[in-house]
Structure 1
Amino acid sequence: MTRCITWLHNISLEQKLINDMDKDTMARIIAITNQKGGVGKTTTCVNLAASLAATNRKVLLIDFDPQGNATMGSGVDKHALELSSYHLLLEDVPVEQLIVDAEAAGYHLLPGNSDLTAAEVQLMQVEARETRLQQRIAPVRDKYDYVLIDCPPSLNMLTLNALTAADAVFIPIQCEYYALEGLSALVETIEQIREAINPDLEIEGLLRTMYDARNNLANEVSEQLLEHFGDKVYRTIIPRNVRLAEAPSFGAPIIKYDRTSRGAIAYLALAGELLRREHEREQPETVENDDACSDASSSH
């Protein structure tokens, strides 16, 4: 990853220019990442996409992980793909031809599979390699409300592309012993990318996943996250849930597999919190007035 950061400082001014389209008409791009595997990253990407789509938002999920689990979890067979996100990066196939309708999941999908394993090496030969994803998805950005990117569980060139293209980063975290150690490295990388190439990149939030309130260590790590990151830690907590773990094997998001399960309720709540936070950022005066009215009402 050190090499990736070094490359950032060699990017030309032209590659740093932000598309001058009206941002109100463009999708908000959120990279969902954590270099530690097994933290619920793909589960969060698939189920947040489905939950946002359930609120009538137009959503595109980009599977950027060579494991292709987000593709399978969306009901698309990664083994049967003729075109994938690999071709987005390294071939001249229009992005519109790569997007499939994951009808059962409720959103559009730019699928991925093991072909992406070779992409990092081949990207070394590509000019402006760090901004490849940003450039290639630009033609469809105005067609969606949200674009979610499922990043690989490592800080490599694929993840760098995702963070360069993104407006924000969402970080799923399992509340365990090494959680904070890995998080500090990721936050440092995000800061370096912000300074070098993507000044608008922000941390949308941290999400506690696979949470078991009976576990003392989980509670301790949760408290440490709140202490270090404050409001960046989402109130919504994703619990350990059997139905949530089963859903990917049926190629369906949890709200399609079992909408009444604790996992489904949690991810619907997560989508609601994301939308509420975004609304509060866009209209802070309205929120402050609402809070003032609430305080006044409670005093009577």
Structure 2
Amino acid sequence: MAARIIVVYNQKGGSGKTTTSTNLAGGLGLRGRKTLLVDYDEQGTASIMVANAPDDSPFPASVVNLSRNPKELKRFRDDYEFIVVDCPPAIKSDAPSIALLVADLGIIPVQPSGGNLWAVAEAKKLGVKAQDYNPDLKLRTLANSNRNTSVAKQIFAALAEDEEVPMLRTAIGQRTAYAEAELMGTTVLQIKEAKEAQAEFNALVDEILELVDD
């Protein structure tokens, strides 16, 4: 069976794409699902992060950088159960558009600010356009911030009302554990002290599997 392809993208940098991609790919791998993390960013942030993993605790998913050859994504589909794609800002690259045409799910991480709302609106348009050619593509937004500020509550409440691109039930908080995991080349699921972050990503993996796993 061909891999399920999950594309994490946004028009704007700093929205949490790489954090989401690496922890999601690692989380799937830790559940025994053969997973490939595809780095589409020319800066290679995900690839560099994973390279920091210690020899005695390798990153729980395979990694490949396809920033120069984004169309090669399809050739890996028969070799894995899941492929998670970490995209660069779509405004600078056609890689997200290419990936969405063959994807099963597009995830748009959201930070609660005016600039990010514009970026999310553009990312939604990109995904909906891809659905014209890939009607099986599902699109979801992901709250990537604490929800307890008044601004965050207003923004996430508005996004939650969108029926065309629904919001995932799971939200990712702003926690130091995510930065620590990146420095260590690992996932929060492998850091014993990161209980809250672990709960978030275990819930996210569960929700993603509900959406795309047959």
Q: Same fold (TM over 0.5)?
A: yes
Q: Does 1:146 align with 2:82?
A: yes
Task: Note if contact 1:40-1:210 (Cα within 8 Å) is conserved in structure 2.
Answer: no
Unaligned runs of 5+ in 1: 1-24, 78-102, 120-131, 283-300
Conservation of the 8 A alpha-carbon contact between 1:75 and 1:252: no
Question: Which AA in structure 1 matches 2:30?
Answer: A
Question: Counterpart of 1:210?
Answer: 145
User: What pairs with 1:182-261 in structure 2 (closer than 5 Å)?
Assistant: 182-195=119-132, 197-203=133-139, 205-213=140-148, 215-229=149-163, 232-258=166-192, 260-261=194-195
Residue identity opposite 2:151 in structure 1: L
Question: Aligned residue for 1:41?
Answer: 17
What TM-score do the two structures reach when normalised by structure 2? 0.87
Render the CA deviation track for 1:76-95: whole Å, top value 9, x for unaligned: 59xxxxxxxxxxxxxxxxxx
Q: Any conservation in 1 of the 2:124–2:165 contact (CA below 8 Å)?
A: no
**Residues 72-111 of structure 1 aligned to structure 2 (within 5 Å):** 72-75=48-51, 104-111=58-65
Match of 1:165, SS state, is coil
What is the alpha-carbon distance in structure 1 between the residues aligned to residue 12 and residue 97 of structure 2?
15
Please give the root-mean-square deviation of Cα atoms over the aligned residues, in Å: 2.5
Counterparts of 2:70 and 2:45, CA distance in 1: 20
Residue identity (%): 29
Q: Could you give the per-residue CA deviations for residues 135-185 of structure 1, whole angstroms, max 9, x where no partner exists? A: x34343122111011000123222222222322211111122333322221
2:107 and 2:141 in contact (8 A); partners too: yes
In 1: Cα distance, 2:16 partner to 2:77 partner = 26
Larger Rg: 1
Distance 1:230 1:163 in 2: 16
TM-score by length of 1: 0.64
Q: Tell which has more relative contact order, 1 or 2 (C-alpha 8 A, sep 6+).
A: 2
CA contact (8 A) 2:70 2:99 kept: yes
Which structure 2 segments of 5+ residues have no match? Answer: none
CA distance in 1, matches of 2:48, 2:16: 15
